[in-house]
Every structure is written in C-alpha cells, then in structure tokens.
Structure 1
Amino acid sequence: MPHWLMKTEPDLFSIRDLFRQKTSPWDGVRNYQARNFMDQMRLGDTVFIYHSSCKDVGIAGIGEVVRESYPDVSQFDEKSPYFDAKSDPAKPRWRRVDIGFVEAWPAVLPLARLKSDPALSDMALVQKGSRLSVMPVTEQQWHYILGLKP
C-alpha cells in the first residue's frame, strides 16, 4: 500500500484538529505536481502529517486516505483564500482527498533529525529546494521513520 507525506501549517490545521474532526478534506493544494500525487492516492493509503511553517517543524502523526480525489470546491468560492478565477466548474483544476485520523505522536519528529539521517538522504522531503505539500514516501522510508517515532 502506498505511503505519503502531507504538509500543513498547524496554526491553520494540525494533527490535533484532525484528531478532533476524525476526518477532514485536504483542500487548498495549488500545485500541479502535488495535485497529481493526490489523484494517485487510494483508500487506506497512509499519510505522515507534517507540520510546517511553525516552531516545531516535522512529522506530527499519521492519517489515512478515507476518500479518493474529488474536486476541491474552494476553487469556486470567491470568499475562500483558495479561490481560483481560472478554474472551470465543468473541468475543475484542483482536487482534494479526505484524510482520517490514525495517530498523533507525543512529540514532533523534527525535520532536522530527518535531514541528518543518511538513511533518508533520498527522501523528497529532505532534498534541497523541495517545497511540495504532498509527496510520496517509499515503503522503506515509511518503516524507517516509524522506527524513529518519538
């Protein structure tokens, strides 16, 4: 089963928010490669929930795909920060998936720890210039990171 990493800013949406909601649409993704990765997600795929743009940057827990890719309605909502005037309702440009809560970790596994580990040197997350909000994680990387869980 494939594995993924999805970034979120915890002041907007965190692993704790996912815990409270149990299931949430993962919307607002406005990068074509990240969107294409979400189109590849299937029910039951597991996801590292990664906190970015905050004090404690890193993996905060695990979610799973509970609904496969479908149109992100925020692209059509003029009041939404994710509104896209060029998106056509007949052929939506942006997609989202629904993520269910699996587990919150007791502490964030820091990005610095991931970057310093030679076993993860080929992981997209630690590559220089990698800014994607959604990315695949290999089976080997997934299990290795689970072994580092705080």
Structure 2
Amino acid sequence: MPYLLKSEPDKYSFDDLLRDGETVWDGIKNPQALITLRNMKRGEDCIIYHSNVGKAAVGTAKVVSVTTDPDNPKIPIVRLKAGKRLKREKPLAEIRDASVFHGSIMFRQFRLSVVPLSDEQFDWLVHG
C-alpha cells in the first residue's frame, strides 16, 4: 500500500531527503497516524507532500524498514529512502479536484500527517 507523508518544507523538505539519501520519519504524535506508520512495510512506496509552504506533492520515497522505539514500543521508527522528484509537482487544489481523491481521508482528516493511498491515487500523483 502506498502512503502520502506530509512534511513542512521549512523543517525537512524533499530536497533535504534527496541530499540525505535516507531518513527516519519521526515527530509524529497523532495516534491514528502512528497506527498507519506501524502498518507500513519494507518496500512500500510513499509520496512526499509539502504542507504549510507550497502545499504540493513533490517526490517519492520508499520504506526501508519499520521498527519500534526501544524506549517506547508504541512509537514506530520508519526509515525512508529518497526516490525521485515528481516530473510535475501536484498542488493541493489539483489533488482536491481529482476524481481519484474524492472522499479521500486526506480531505476528511486534513491534519493527519500520514495518509494511506490507493494504488490509483499513487499512480495519479506520479504519472497523472
């Protein structure tokens, strides 16, 4: 299952991920988002979405590993590997208008920083 991961680009941008190559996706506190992170599996695809500034899907990443914090087993540690920049960023307004996103949890619970996507949604973001 692919996922959309929201990041504030002034704190950690897709360019930062490209520079670093890999990163641990942390700082998530919302219980529903933590459950989603725990359910991630090695090799799954992700879309990196810049929130607050830019508000657009900007690139891809892949889940390298999912473990738990030894000090707090409820907290997942998700390691991501940088993918590629999207050929064309997909702004929020365009995503919202796309029929493939009608009824998406992304717009029903817009504060979630981790959102599961359908394969069709992922393909639209990458190729649409």
The structure with the larger Rg is 1
User: Does structure 1 residue 131 correspond to structure 2 residue 102?
Assistant: no
Contact 1:57 1:108 in 2 (8 A): no
Pick aligned residue for 2:64 from 58, 63, 66: 66
Equivalent pair of 1:52/1:58 in contact (CA under 8 Å): yes
Which amino acid is 1:126 matched to?
Answer: F
Secondary structure, in 3 states, of the residue corresponding to 1:122?
Answer: coil
Give the number of equivalent residue pairs: 128
Give TM-score scaled by structure 1 length.
0.78
User: Superposed, which structure 2 residues align to 1:54-93 within 5 Å?
Assistant: 54=53, 56-71=54-69, 89=71, 91-93=72-74
Aligned to 1:108: 89
Q: Is the 8 A contact 2:86 2:126 kept in 1?
A: no
Distance in structure 2 (CA, Å) of the matches to 1:52 and 1:69: 26
**Distance in 1 between the 2:32 and 2:24 partners?**
18
Q: Distance in 2 between matches of 1:105 and 1:9?
A: 17
The alignment yields a C-alpha RMSD, in angstroms, of 1.6
Mapped partners of 1:23, 1:35: distance in 2: 20
Distance 1:95 1:119 in 2: 29
- Provide, for residues 88-126 of structure 1, a one-character-per-residue CA deviation record: whole Å limited to 9, x for no partner: x3x444222011001112553100001112232122223
In structure 2, distance between residues paired with 1:9 and 1:69: 24
- 4+ runs deviating over 6 angstroms: none
Which structure's residues are more often strand, by fraction? Answer: 2
The sequence identity of aligned pairs, in percent, is: 27
Alignment of 1:1-150 (within 5 A): 2-54=1-53, 56-71=54-69, 89=71, 91-127=72-108, 129-148=109-128
Deviation at 1:59, TM superposition (A): 0.4
